[in-house]
Amino acid sequence: MTLSRIPVPLFIGPYVYQCQLVPGTKLKEKGQIKEGETSFLKGWIRVREGMTPERERETLLHEIHHAVWDCYGIPTTLPEAEREEGTIRPLSTGMYTVLLDNPWVVNYLFPGRK
Ligand SMILES: [Zn+2]
């Protein structure tokens, strides 16, 4: 199972992202072709086509983390004693919610596993 060029909706909190595979030429930044990109303002996640299925899945998961980071307001300036829990709590809540609200993501990330 791979993503396709046809956008698939992904719900992250109140936001909807359209996920799709795109040619690497659409993911260029400073002359480098990136593996994925997320636009919070435009509501899309793009993953570079032509990668191995495992790298494609990991890239989608990476981009979902960016969207969760944005949605759940993960703090970046906590004192050291609060940093670990203060970061992991909203990240785990956000990721759990993403997986609950988007069962296709679980099937996509772990094909053939029940
Ligand atoms: Zn990144």
Q: Can you give the pLDDT at residue 109?
A: 93
Q: Can you give the pLDDT at residue 114?
A: 63
Residue 30 CA to residue 11 CA, distance in Å, equals 30
Q: For residues 61 and 69, is the Cβ–Cβ distance under 8 A?
A: no
- The single-letter code of the amino acid at 95 is M
Say if 1 falls within a structural domain.
no
Cα–ligand 1 centroid distance for 80 (angstroms):
23
Say if 114 falls within a structural domain.
no
* Total of domains in the chain: 1
Cα–ligand 1 centroid distance for 33 (angstroms):
13
Cα–ligand 1 centroid distance for 54 (angstroms):
17
Residue-wise DSSP of 82-108:
HHHHHHHHHHHHHHHHHHHH-HHHHHH
Cα–ligand 1 centroid distance for 62 (angstroms):
6
Residue 27 CA to residue 109 CA, distance in Å, equals 22
Cα–ligand 1 centroid distance for 103 (angstroms):
23
Instruction: Please report, for the domain that includes residue 94, its CATH number.
Output: 1.10.10
**Domain containing 13: what range?**
8-109
Cα–ligand 1 centroid distance for 26 (angstroms):
16
Question: Whole-prediction pTM value?
Answer: 0.92
pLDDT tens for each residue of 53-102: 999 999 999 999 999 999 998 888 999 999 999 999 999 999 999 999 99
For 10, phi and psi rounded to 5 degrees? -130, 125
